[in-house]
Amino acid sequence: MKIAVSGCLIGEKIRYDGGDRRNDFITDELGKFVKFVSFCPEHLAFGTPRPSVHLVKEGKTIRVHSDQEGHDLTQALIEKSLCEVARLEAYSLCGIIFKSKSPSCGMKSTKIYLENELCDETVDGVFMAMCRERFPDLPMEEEGRLEDPSLRENFLMKVYEYHRIQTLKTAISDKEFL
């Protein structure tokens, strides 16, 4: 059973500052039962270490700006995020776990700023939004919410159920070709 995960959550040193956000439950507990497929669109786009980024609302569009120089990095992040989504399509995934609050990976928890630097609201990160669109039925959750026992149980039940249905579908289609 495979679950895609933000690489920094399983100890990969790919955050903008070369650090990680290793999550013990995901790495040590969940890791006993599932195989992880890690991803990191920002590492792919900008390497590590790199300038941190944030989301900015410009009119009706959302842009990705570098924290340091203010450069607009939207196009590069979109292109590499699309590459990561395409790569994930090749796996038979049963779920995805995202790092919360990240401009790429946050799941309705990423702050979006107005041009005067005031926070406006929280939204999906760039990469997460693409995954939501590409894999609408796949169970998805953020690592922060998995700290809550009932949300954790709910997510794991969805993952196992999704896996069971996919296995059943494969068995039926194999039979059809016999």
∠ at Cα 102 (24, 72), nearest 5°? 150
Both tokens of 141, joined, read 């959750």
Q: Encode burial over 140-154: b for 16+ CB neighbours within 10 A, e otherwise.
A: bbbbbbbeeeeebee
Amino acid letter, residue 150: S
> How many residues of this chain interact with ligand SF4, rule: CB under 6 A?
13
Nearer Cβ to ligand SF4 (57/101): 101
Q: Report how far residue 40's alpha carbon sits from residue 143's, in angstroms, rounded to the nearest whole number.
A: 15
For residues 83-112, which are near ligand SF4 according to CB under 6 A? 99, 102, 104-105
Looking at the Cβ atoms of 62 and 163, the one nearer to ligand SF4 is 62
Minimum CB distance to ligand SF4, residue 130 (Å): 13
Instruction: Round to whole Å and give the CA distance between 140 and 6.
Output: 12
Least CB distance to ligand SF4 at residue 5 (A): 8
Of 12-71, binders to ligand SF4 (CB under 6 A) are 14-15, 40-43
Q: Which of 93, 80, 86 is nearest to 34 (CA)?
A: 93
Q: Which of 3, 7, 26, 63 binds ligand SF4 (CB under 6 A)?
A: 7
Q: What is the smallest separation between the CB atom of 41 and ligand SF4, expressed in angstroms?
A: 6
What residue ranges bind ligand SF4 (CB under 6 A)?
6-8, 14-15, 40-43, 99, 102, 104-105
